[in-house]
Structure 1
Amino acid sequence: MTTTTTTSSPIILIAGHWLGAWAWEDVLDHLATDRSRTVAMTLPGLDADDPERATRTLEDQVAAVLDVLARLGASAEEPATIVAHSGANGPVSLVLDRRPELVHRVVWVDSGPVATGSAFAPDLPEGLEELPLPSLDLLAQQASLDGLSAEVLERFRARAVPEPGPVLRQPVVLTNDARRSVETTLVCCSIPGAQVLELARDGHAMFAEVTTLEHLDVVDLPTGHWPMWSRPRDLAEVIRSAAARTS
């Protein structure tokens, strides 16, 4: 008789622009997994205490994620789950390109894989060292703030760290098609999953890479662009399910 066991892969939580590991505090409170195998990380350039943070690059961020994977003992035999929110998709897409065998599943939170050659802000002036969090009024025009209280928005504004210019300008260069075979979950929050898939099929630049994925699950979690604050318990459940491995 064959016995089936379920275990949880190591988990790395990576927030998007202006955010560090602190952004995952509410999710971690609900994530019933082994804390020694779950890391919420701050990407290089987003540590307010780093005096050289404005010069950090995408390559620095990729190296940091790979370092965390190594510290968690990720391997082809025991790959990790990477959770990438929003603008973390640049460095995480590069990690998938370079070491796909180390990733059990990637969970894109209101985000998705980027296409080769793309950059978040290629026209950002070279003289602009960093991009601070815009006013909340302007931010609301760029992304949905649904579900966020005044207290949460104030915390966001107070703790946000300007995004390094090099990270925003650098194009992502991808060469390894094996990245597309990594199991993938799209957590769709501010845009419904059906609409995301339709945009992908229509060749929308932001979503086109989705059509190349070989193993894709789509989870609708209706809320704003920051579900780690608006629906932390539900997001934790999605992550816990994604990290489960059956053998």
Structure 2
Amino acid sequence: MRLVSWNVNGLRACVNKGFHDYFRQVGADIFCIQETKLQEGQIRMDIGEDYEGYWNYAEKKGYSGTAVWTRVKPLSVRYGIEEDREPEGRILTLEFEAFYLVTVYTPNAKRDLSRLDYRLEWEDRFRDYLVSLDALKPVVVCGDLNVAHQEIDIKNAKSNRGNSGFTDQEREKMTRLLGSGFVDTFRHLYPERTDVYSWWSNMPGVRERNVGWRIDYFLASARLTPAITDASVDCDIRGSDHCPVVLDLAVHG
């Protein structure tokens, strides 16, 4: 089973930059996106009859939002944490026979860290939610987690320490989440691979010089690790300031 996750940073813009070409090329069984930045009825997607789509829209127009297309019909779908429909549309949970899939757009602490306290409280609630799911069946978590966990996951670690997305507090929350029974699938397979990033600033030349951050992930319950056949980052795919990340699992939905 192939799973793909991509922060499209505005789906309407990404569609005009080759989204459908990549969608057809990658051959995902489940395709998740974050930052759709639209409301219901604002876009028409040419995805194909093989897929069912599920959307969690933010109440604020042009902001946040998540979506999933899947070839495998889910047993259930949740919008937000548990049954709470969060106003920012950040979480979608699809239950399949073999696992729960959670796609998430984690809140940004903001450049001035004005939202850091909220972010840290949100992280605790999200971790508790994942642990509660994991008690029932394995979990796959994907999306923009808005944190570079280790120094290897960011180009300029020293100069960025303390900045939004690389504060000690945010990194510690990621460490705690992984310590609760989850693995970073990419690092599980490639613990020492350097210069692999999923987000680049829009400043001129930054992406060309690969001055990036790895903040988009596939995490999985530790007991799923024997089923991980590959985890990759499609760094060459444009269309957003993020690129897609891919997980191949030897499981059936």
TM-score, normalising length from structure 1? 0.38
TM-score (norm 2): 0.37
| Higher-strand-fraction structure | 2
* Bigger fraction of residues in helix: 1
